[in-house]
Structure 1
């Protein structure tokens, strides 16, 4: 079972809104004829008007139309963005339209924008914004309020667009690295008391497994001091340990009041660039133990998802019952900042949810106390698949006492997170809407499902770490093990098994959830029993899984459940299934990793002939069944996989001989 990791290149393509894939019918709807297509053509034509007010209006109108309308986004993306204009307000609105296009359009449209060389004009904006910023900081009263507003809007639009593009591909990220954005972005944080722009989330993304950005941040001690001053205010103890957990309530409320989530994003930045370089005193700080865990735990404990979903539904219902504002037309200039009370409430609610999601994402890394499974990978590993996820860690590692120092977060701190995380995995009525009844508010649905998945990833890492550390105090709390086991199963039951097209988030929950079950089953091995229905669900999910990593997880859970001493019928069902996966004269239905895991599981289950369920091995003729099975040591796979296959094959041969010698 591999630890969950942040996806290095394309973690999330939609920083603040909902991507096309989460809209009703997903991207397929983009190919259909939009009801707004007839309106978009004359608006596009208005962008070439000699009248600046017409050009501004056209940019605002496009910005409004592209929200949550894939077809209009596709149509607009084919047009050349208007990023050169003699009027500042037109430029700001054009940049805002491009920002919304990148935010809502996702990877495909961001890639199209990058291919249209959108970075060239964006590069020229950075020094211009810096000049205006410097002038404003020297004399804020000299700049009219309208000028300040335009500067903030334009800077925010540029930064957010660069953020979106940086997550499009490694090619785009490398191009953005060449701009050297770190000094520009840090200048906003350094003057945060005077400026309303908070580019911390863009910085967080840029420093995620991105060496050039990390090196740039670490090269300036002032940058690190600035970040530390944000997450460790002077009124807080320097070591990050408050006298009372309630001391952090003020920080939590401050963080949750802003959609930009400056505090937890800065915590994430510090974690991305850790260890902090000496000789600064900050180099001695244990980022995970002294900052990440104590500061972010209150954040994830501060929100009730059922209450949030209920508030969102009430706002949606109220919004639907309001008199409709006259629809957009060429005769009625739209107001870009016109939002009803309910729309503002929905945006604030989504901002709070995204803050919790970001905190969970950072905690996921802090909870991964094991070495990266991809470290030292052979030639068969690599490419985008390796970047996206590392789930090929086998369970042998769980049976060893790893002393990894990759993360200094103590395993003893991890169980304290479990109650808060369990509260966040349970779906609400808006979390996973069926295809037949699309979400009434996709942004809220997107945020809620992201929180459930991120919380499940945290649990996955926690129980993988606990399983590897073999903590007696944790495994001795059998009641706690049963509680976690039942809650995860209850959650997956609510998620349901509608796992087809358009329900990818449900599948993610199942794939990660099975990993959590595996970790829990290892920690409390021999004390957890499962119902026959749960066993059959695991078997069906294993058979239906398309990737080896998920199959291995399912087999791992079944292996642990089979070792509950008194579950003789369950043991028999599981053993028969595992044997069915092994090859005979015909090819095995299992892949190489699944085959190795199943073989290893059978050896472990029946290595002690004194256990009650060993009767199944003797009476079921399993020795004879295993004797005619085998593992082809020439099976395809990486060096490590082949090496493990040979080891398991040797163990199987020795096991068969051992059982024969017993004469039972």
Structure 2
């Protein structure tokens, strides 16, 4: 159907069917949980960015990234606290009689279209500030703005859609739910269909051109699609309405216009990626004509960074609907998807930043813009136009709140190109994680022991180096495509720290500085992706023992290369997850790794202080894996004592039962077998400590379990409780010998 496999060298060497190596039970399936891009729970809001003004809006703000571990989610949008001069302030939006919120909502009924447009635009600006949202919600802003989506004035439609987009982006999940409850979908779907009809008209008022560059109906459609994307990502009812009202056919018509309006196409592709995930009711609507639209984009050859982003997003949609494709074309489609990801990841973002900055300098030199300041020869140029305040941090605002890098004006075209590339790379890495974790194994990898309570059965689990075999997670087609397109090698290349020269370029310019966070995010996603690749591949698939040993050194350097232990939460979670998966693979295949016990203890002592549960789980598991290897080596009792004391301390003191459960599992691993482990266990009085802790653990599970933890986590904790009893029985049996 699409592209044949392209011949290339091999980074992943062909080998026997990959086996997933035993991992800690926490996070177990959580570590392999797919990265969800839609309808997440527990996050703060939808993915899409708030809209400044249509001339400044970039609709391709990335969807949020749900963390693999646990239920926590990243912030899925950025609040924009900036209020341009002459507009209303935060305090102006407070509720009360005669408040600006009430006055503006009243002006929506004004007979003058200009006044209605002004009111919508003013509301839109105020809704960028989260503090003002309650005042508008109290006055039923959704039902006031909803009819404006079908106003006779096209300008009013666009500004009303932009205001609702801001409300959905800055208001959070609860506000999006409220918008759907108040039936925002009815006028929104009608608007989308009218825009489609308007774009198909050859003449008439619906074909009115707002300026020489943009079609007015496309601008309205752009805002409407972004609003649709937000509410569908947050609310299942909105997705159901999307399915039933034929929205797929509508947005596919917009997607066909990708060569004329790539921004609109990117918004549609982002929306489709959200609504096609875990939505079997929609899959039947993807017929051959829908496949052709997606295929047309996948096979397009445009080289712009926005085009690369569009192809990446469409590749994600295609992956979500892969079961609707003819069976004979699935292998070629898989190759097409991985080829797109490979090409995207092949671009060096650091080098591109340097080149784009040089291009910006030359452009400003040639245009002699009066707004440019600084020494052009040094490449340190700031554009001081009406938008410059948006790049500064307002007093009282946090750095994250004031990061509006996705709302850059069009004049900063080079920044926009780099941002598009970084988003494409981040998206590609997230989708690859989903691919690797598509067929999740059971949470409980010890379920085979459930039929027996004999302590001897506990030890049967550790045969053959503690390896538990699970079904292959990667299909043959996917495995071949990953190998042919050198995707694992390119993932590994992205795990390094960003180019220091590019970082310096970004630091010297306010407009470029937000790109640093995007560069870092690509590294974090690459580390997470590396973790997933390690879990679904065996040594031969990964390139052999030498490659894995080099990787061990690489991850060690990432962790210890900085003067101080990193405080960056997402980096720590990603790098410890990757290290955990690597150590599992090395230990199961008797391959040495480069980190010394002292380095591991340093990592674990620092990591256990982290507030992120996932980081604590990872470092505890890492120590358990290392300890289980040392237990088989002579003269390691002293090191095992140190590890045992550390794990006991975590098990008895950590506030999270998830971490406690992982610490207990790690103790089982370390002290399961071996003379050195037996000696160390006696010296730290392991059996006595666990017998004393057993009722405490049971009590904590009764008191805290159901209220704070998911059913998956409780299932794992139940098995930990069972294994604790078995382990104690096993240790008592050893003591009697």
- TM-score range relative to shorter protein: 0.7 to 0.9
When residues 178 and 442 of structure 1 are mapped into structure 2, their CA distance, relative to the original with a 3 A threshold, is farther
Write the distance in 2 (CA, Å) between the matches of 1:494 and 1:395. Answer: 37
TM-score, normalised to structure 1, is 0.72
When residues 597 and 372 of structure 1 are mapped into structure 2, their CA distance, relative to the original with a 3 A threshold, is same
Match of 2:626 in 1: 561
Structure 1 window deviating more from structure 2 (46-55 vs 518-527): it is 46-55
Match of 1:209 in 2: 278
When residues 353 and 340 of structure 1 are mapped into structure 2, their CA distance, relative to the original with a 3 A threshold, is same
Match of 1:524 among 567, 576, 586: 586
When residues 431 and 99 of structure 1 are mapped into structure 2, their CA distance, relative to the original with a 3 A threshold, is farther
When residues 212 and 494 of structure 1 are mapped into structure 2, their CA distance, relative to the original with a 3 A threshold, is farther
Write the distance in 2 (CA, Å) between the matches of 1:9 and 1:358. Answer: 17
Q: Contact between 1:485 and 1:517, CA under 8 Å: does it hold in 2? A: yes
Q: How many residues are aligned here?
A: 585
Match of 1:291 among 322, 330, 336: 336
Q: Does 1:650 align with 2:726?
A: yes
Offset of residue 93 of structure 1: 2.7
Write the distance in 1 (CA, Å) between the matches of 2:150 and 2:230. Answer: 21
Structure 1 SS opposite 2:496: helix
Q: What pairs up with 1:339-418 in 2 under 5 angstroms?
A: 342-368=411-437, 371-373=440-442, 399-405=467-473, 407-408=475-476, 409-410=478-479, 413=483, 415-418=488-491
Q: What pairs up with 1:52-201 in 2 under 5 angstroms?
A: 52-64=113-125, 66-67=127-128, 69-72=129-132, 75=135, 78=139, 79=141, 80-81=144-145, 82-136=148-202, 143=207, 145-146=209-210, 149-190=215-256, 192=258, 197-198=264-265, 199-201=268-270
Write the distance in 1 (CA, Å) between the matches of 2:78 and 2:674. Answer: 52
Match of 2:8 in 1: none
Match of 1:223 in 2: 290
Write the distance in 1 (CA, Å) between the matches of 2:81 and 2:125. Answer: 21
Write the distance in 2 (CA, Å) between the matches of 1:616 and 1:426. Answer: 46
Unaligned runs of 5+ in 1: 27-31, 234-249, 329-337, 379-393, 434-438, 498-505
Offset of residue 541 of structure 1: 3.5
When residues 620 and 40 of structure 1 are mapped into structure 2, their CA distance, relative to the original with a 3 A threshold, is closer
Q: Contact between 1:579 and 1:598, CA under 8 Å: does it hold in 2? A: yes
Offset of residue 207 of structure 1: 0.2
When residues 653 and 90 of structure 1 are mapped into structure 2, their CA distance, relative to the original with a 3 A threshold, is same
Structure 1 SS opposite 2:149: coil
Match of 1:282 among 326, 329, 335: 329
Structure 1 SS opposite 2:536: helix
When residues 307 and 140 of structure 1 are mapped into structure 2, their CA distance, relative to the original with a 3 A threshold, is same
Q: Contact between 1:353 and 1:447, CA under 8 Å: does it hold in 2? A: yes
Q: Does 1:481 align with 2:530?
A: no
When residues 545 and 274 of structure 1 are mapped into structure 2, their CA distance, relative to the original with a 3 A threshold, is same
Q: Does 1:14 align with 2:81?
A: no
Specify which structure has the bigger relative contact order, considering alpha-carbon pairs within 8 angstroms and separated by 6 or more residues.
2
When residues 86 and 155 of structure 1 are mapped into structure 2, their CA distance, relative to the original with a 3 A threshold, is same
Match of 2:522 in 1: 451
When residues 351 and 557 of structure 1 are mapped into structure 2, their CA distance, relative to the original with a 3 A threshold, is same
Structure 1 window deviating more from structure 2 (568-577 vs 404-413): it is 404-413
Match of 1:34 among 83, 90, 107: 90
Match of 2:5 in 1: none
Write the distance in 2 (CA, Å) between the matches of 1:353 and 1:536. Answer: 33
When residues 114 and 429 of structure 1 are mapped into structure 2, their CA distance, relative to the original with a 3 A threshold, is farther
Match of 2:384 among 318, 322, 326: 322
Match of 1:388 in 2: none
Write the distance in 2 (CA, Å) between the matches of 1:294 and 1:578. Answer: 44
Match of 2:532 in 1: 461
Match of 1:385 in 2: none
Q: Contact between 1:14 and 1:106, CA under 8 Å: does it hold in 2? A: no
Write the distance in 2 (CA, Å) between the matches of 1:369 and 1:85. Answer: 45
Write the distance in 1 (CA, Å) between the matches of 2:224 and 2:113. Answer: 21
1:587-608 C-alpha deviation (Å, 9 max, x unpaired)? x757655455434433433455
Offset of residue 41 of structure 1: 7.3
Offset of residue 555 of structure 1: 1.7
1:48-89 C-alpha deviation (Å, 9 max, x unpaired)? 44332333344345445554x333555555532132422222
Offset of residue 357 of structure 1: 2.2
Structure 1 window deviating more from structure 2 (571-580 vs 399-408): it is 399-408
Structure 1 window deviating more from structure 2 (354-363 vs 601-610): it is 601-610
Write the distance in 1 (CA, Å) between the matches of 2:491 and 2:462. Answer: 22
Offset of residue 170 of structure 1: 2.4
Write the distance in 1 (CA, Å) between the matches of 2:655 and 2:125. Answer: 51
Q: Contact between 1:204 and 1:268, CA under 8 Å: does it hold in 2? A: yes
Q: What pairs up with 1:411-426 in 2 under 5 angstroms?
A: 413=483, 415-423=488-496
Match of 2:317 among 269, 275, 278: 269
Offset of residue 186 of structure 1: 2.0
Q: Contact between 2:647 and 2:667, CA under 8 Å: does it hold in 1? A: yes
Structure 2 SS opposite 1:257: helix
When residues 482 and 375 of structure 1 are mapped into structure 2, their CA distance, relative to the original with a 3 A threshold, is closer
Q: Contact between 1:350 and 1:443, CA under 8 Å: does it hold in 2? A: no
Structure 1 SS opposite 2:215: helix
Write the distance in 1 (CA, Å) between the matches of 2:243 and 2:206. Answer: 34
Give the RMSD, CA atoms, in angstroms: 4.9
Match of 1:605 in 2: 670
Offset of residue 422 of structure 1: 0.5
Q: Contact between 1:4 and 1:458, CA under 8 Å: does it hold in 2? A: no
